[in-house]
Structure 1
């Protein structure tokens, strides 16, 4: 189901969409055209609206419907600075890329992840396609890149998956070496060389500990910027009109806010139950 609000969330109306019994797991609005909207589903599929959500049509992404974990899920969508370009991340079926607003797609996977594993970890053959979240980023050399959050750490490519940089995260301020299970990823809206990753301990311990790390060099190095949380950080959100404000949510409903561009994240008093997505918008008087 998809519902749309035209009054800043005070009321919602259901929108007719061709989901055919599927769940909607992701939404993205084009920064180049506010009437262009994509929605990702479970099992993995993609629907598109070109009129601000009035009507929708299925797009030929061609993703697998099942994987080793059951039904695939299109969890993450990110636009680039180039109109028409969009990345989609699927758990578990890799990364899909389009240059024509979804008319045609190229699929690729990560490589090199086995080198990140510790002595007590077991490699899974479908791991290169196990994509939790994707975001368009920029290297410190000014090269456009794709940054990816995966169960085994952070990955980045500048050439549509031909080569990858991959890493885990520093042990600092109680961020122990087990907190590498990356679930969410975001860039600072006015500086895509600044990357944030939401992490936690891998299942079944992902409801025990989590946090946020920040990179000022496009993902090369990382610093913890949040307190240690009670579960993994599932989602982060920002808005172009408030570039220094971001919010994040943990799986178990803790909410964090930063107003200094992500240098310091603080918990708010109110907590929710299980939470998987959030958004922020400026107040309009």
Structure 2
């Protein structure tokens, strides 16, 4: 197993068993990650895992791709990521289809979407995104003259359906691979930071946003806010229990300032029939001095990983207890987290 942690100065690859840390893409501001492990079938019909393919989006240098688990990276899709092929935009979101690992979607700043059919090696622009009615209202407060695709989530039940969160301004949905778009479905959040799905509940989508936590039961066509027990409304990280689609962990703070600048964030467990409870006494540092965590689902039931400026942590029982990985990681917020 490897854990991939994206920071503003490069990518850290962590061996959680030993705590060993290796750095890749040194000096690059890594914004987003997608890690997929394609299956191969040999001549005898046996299935075996290949090395994970790692896609890392950077703010200044476009998309990087590794096909050997992160040992070596090469620039990917460089001629096509950007207006009229003039060079890379900042890559701010990337996602791999659960139906076909060759299909990858890429989001950028300014807000554009791209589709790859060869695992991220090349990409083509997906049209129509900035023609949506709400596009004139999109704006990212720290850089108010622009905006970006913050998150891309594939639908477990439909390979042509994708959900995109625009920071800030809209959640949008395409049911047909980008041919048409639904702008701001009813109840959707305006400042979506992360989304999550689960194959055992393929019509459900969770969304963590600066304006709350929401849930959809119809693949993103409509949304309901869920906030019972959630006493902090600026929600950032999100991961679903691999063994239970009704259970998720989120990181949240009182405001963007508390999450990113002051450092006063908390970890919560969401249970669909019970609401939220705050996990302040389970082994994960929260409160003063803790910036918002990024989260990632593991492979085993109950396994969820969390990374903040206080280190890398894992729960193997969906939040009942949390243990720290003894890894030497930067004492500052991470941008993204992935597990393979």
Measured against the shorter chain, the TM-score band is: 0.7 to 0.9
Residue 276 of structure 2 corresponds to 222
Structure 2 residue ranges without an equivalent (≥5): 1-61, 83-87
RMSD (Å) for aligned C-alpha atoms: 2.7
Once the two structures are TM-superposed, the CA of residue 149 in structure 1 deviates from its matched residue by: 1.3
Once the two structures are TM-superposed, the CA of residue 163 in structure 1 deviates from its matched residue by: 5.1
Instruction: Check conservation: 2:291, 2:333, Cα contact below 8 A.
Output: no
The one of the two structures with greater contact order (alpha-carbon pairs below 8 A, sep at least 6) is 2
- Provide the C-alpha distance between the structure 2 equivalents of 1:258 and 1:39, rounded to a whole number of angstroms: 30
- Provide the C-alpha distance between the structure 2 equivalents of 1:181 and 1:224, rounded to a whole number of angstroms: 14
> Pick from 90, 95, 98: which aligns with 1:31?
98
1:88-237 mapped onto 2 (5 Å cutoff): 88-109=164-185, 111=187, 128-136=189-197, 144-159=203-218, 160=220, 162=222, 164-167=224-227, 169-170=229-230, 177=231, 179-206=232-259, 207-217=262-272, 221-225=275-279, 226-228=284-286, 230-237=289-296
Once the two structures are TM-superposed, the CA of residue 100 in structure 1 deviates from its matched residue by: 2.2
C-alpha change, 1:190 and 1:46, in structure 2 (3 Å) is: farther
> Pick from 121, 129, 153: which aligns with 1:78?
153
- Provide the C-alpha distance between the structure 1 equivalents of 2:75 and 2:214, rounded to a whole number of angstroms: 37
C-alpha change, 1:22 and 1:155, in structure 2 (3 Å) is: same
TM-score, structure 2 as length reference: 0.66
- Provide the C-alpha distance between the structure 1 equivalents of 2:95 and 2:216, rounded to a whole number of angstroms: 21
- Provide the C-alpha distance between the structure 1 equivalents of 2:251 and 2:197, rounded to a whole number of angstroms: 16
